[in-house]
Structure 1
Amino acid sequence: MKTGASLPNVIFHTRVRDEAVGGPNPYRWQDMTTAAYFAGKRVVLFSLPGAFTPTCSTYQLPGFENGFADFQNQGIDAIYCMSVNDSFVMNKWAEAQGLKNVTVIPDGSGEFTRKMGMLVDKDNLGFGFRSWRYAAIVNDGKIEAWFEEPGLMDNCPEDPYGVTSPETVLNWLVAANSEVAA
């Protein structure tokens, strides 16, 4: 997947809070499509190896969360964080991170990630299949800009991070918007 490509059409199995469910776990299943998330919007999508992991929880997710207003000022409608984790894990991670601005998308089976060409084996860490770290500016379901950490491979001994940082993505947006204004 690269600039100009359309996102793959998949169904994401999510859990959403619904007080009508009652009890200590008031959530219900809600299937969401790629179009439901991306149609008619300009968004930042970033995908990472796993919820609750160090780089993801300390730098990448908080950076996008805290910089949301800066992204909005550059014409971004939403920021989505995707991981090959189920909805239960993603919702708990969002809660633990105190998210208000970033929406988490569970790719529990890895179908979207596989179709993006970013599914990698991380058995060396006991993770199984996960996403390689990438980010994209997506405009109405089409990739406008693509950011991918170097060294895409199975069982990578490192976790490269930098190309997909919030700062890098925001700098690209600022530069792109400056070119349009000139």
Structure 2
Amino acid sequence: MSNLVPQVTFKTRVRDEAVGGENPFRWQDVTTDDIFAGKNVVIFSLPGAFTPTCSSTHLPGYEANFDKLQALGVDDVYCLSVNDAFTMYQWAQRLGADKVKMLPDGNGDFTRLMGMLVKKENLGFGDRSWRYSMHVVDGEIKQMFVEPGKMDNCPTDPFEVSDVDTMLAYLNK
């Protein structure tokens, strides 16, 4: 694996009052460089929006500790999932997550190039991301925390090392 994040374009939605109407959002392409170039970023990836561990612990943990991460020099925290922009937005709204930025990888392009795309057909999810977190500085992956047992159709959902506590301990070194 290269130490650089893969170059992809994410299909995102951004609020734009000029659009008008009940849904004032427009499509905006966001590149890997837009996210990582010249920045200190923590990104965590998970199997899916609205799923149990992702909703009860993973995203809420990073959201609750956002200020601690920023105090350690982190510019942005992103939550990535192989879900579309609409789903990611509604999930953030439902959880009240407004500090962590949602990053939809709807086609799984980034996840595939990271080597983290797995089949979750046993749950009816199709292709999804394996759970992991990473620290990226100016596009260079400094540290990854990948959950053990990565495999297609894994019968369990490991959540041991990609949590915010592991990331905070690493950044505090």
Instruction: Find the partner of 2:62 among 64, 83, 88.
Output: 64
How many residues matched? 173
The offset of 1:99, in angstroms, is: 1.6
The offset of 1:100, in angstroms, is: 1.9
Instruction: Find the partner of 1:83 among 81, 84, 95.
Output: 81
Identity of aligned pairs, percent?
59
- Tell me the residue number matched to 1:153: 151
Q: State the alpha-carbon separation in 2 of the partners of residues 44 and 74 from structure 1.
A: 11
Aligned: 1:96 with 2:94: yes
CA RMSD of aligned residues (A): 0.8
- Tell me the residue number matched to 1:116: 114
Secondary structure, counterpart of 1:95 in structure 2: helix
State the TM-score, normalizing by the size of structure 1.
0.93
Q: State the alpha-carbon separation in 1 of the partners of residues 133 and 43 from structure 2.
A: 6
Deviates more, 1:21-30 or 1:123-132: 21-30
Q: State the alpha-carbon separation in 2 of the partners of residues 15 and 75 from structure 1.
A: 27
Question: For 1:27-48, what per-residue CA distance to the aligned partner results, in whole angstroms no more than 9, with x for missing partners?
Answer: 1000000000111110101000
- Tell me the residue number matched to 1:13: 11
Question: For 1:76-98, what per-residue CA distance to the aligned partner results, in whole angstroms no more than 9, with x for missing partners?
Answer: 11100000001010111111111
- Tell me the residue number matched to 2:35: 37
Deviates more, 1:14-23 or 1:127-136: 14-23
Secondary structure, counterpart of 1:76 in structure 2: coil
State the TM-score, normalizing by the size of structure 2.
0.98
Which ranges of 4 or more aligned residues in structure 1 deviate by more than 6 Å? Answer: none
List runs of 5+ in structure 2 lacking aligned partners. Answer: none
Secondary structure, counterpart of 1:7 in structure 2: coil
